[in-house]
Structure 1
Amino acid sequence: MEYLALPPGLVTTTTAALACGVQPATIRDWVRRGLLNRIGGTPKRPIYKLSDVLAAHTAPKPSRPGQRATDHVA
């Protein structure tokens, strides 16, 4: 069940993913890695501040040993 209406500036995992052009699993990964914090909702239906989601999207991501390089050549 999705929320019928959220206050302005708050988003669900699905909406956050759409706003950043990533998969919902990426949003959950940002939470797990500490780049994004939930501000409410339920354990299965968290809510985030849109401003926090956009900040996490532009934040430098910590690398892990063995992770593929993410250098993009334009």
Structure 2
Amino acid sequence: MDINSATDLLKIALQEKVKVYITDGSEIIGQLIAYDEQQNLVLKNATTKYLGIEKHFQTLFIRANNLKFLSKLDLSKEM
């Protein structure tokens, strides 16, 4: 699949485990279960990490304007 837009990348990452970097410096790991045309995201089984503090959420909504970047995690390289 050719990737020509951010939406194309989100299609590839849908239902996969991703790491999201937020503009405030926090990081979130979870399964991408939904997104919309504005690139708002919904993650399932999400863990946020900010200033060394971790919080867990069953479902987490991330507004697109807070999104810095997203990467699909390679589970074969995780510990």
| TM-score class, shorter | under 0.3
Tell me the TM-score normalized by structure 1: 0.26
Q: Which has the higher helix share?
A: 1
Looking at secondary structure, tell me which structure has more strand per residue: 2
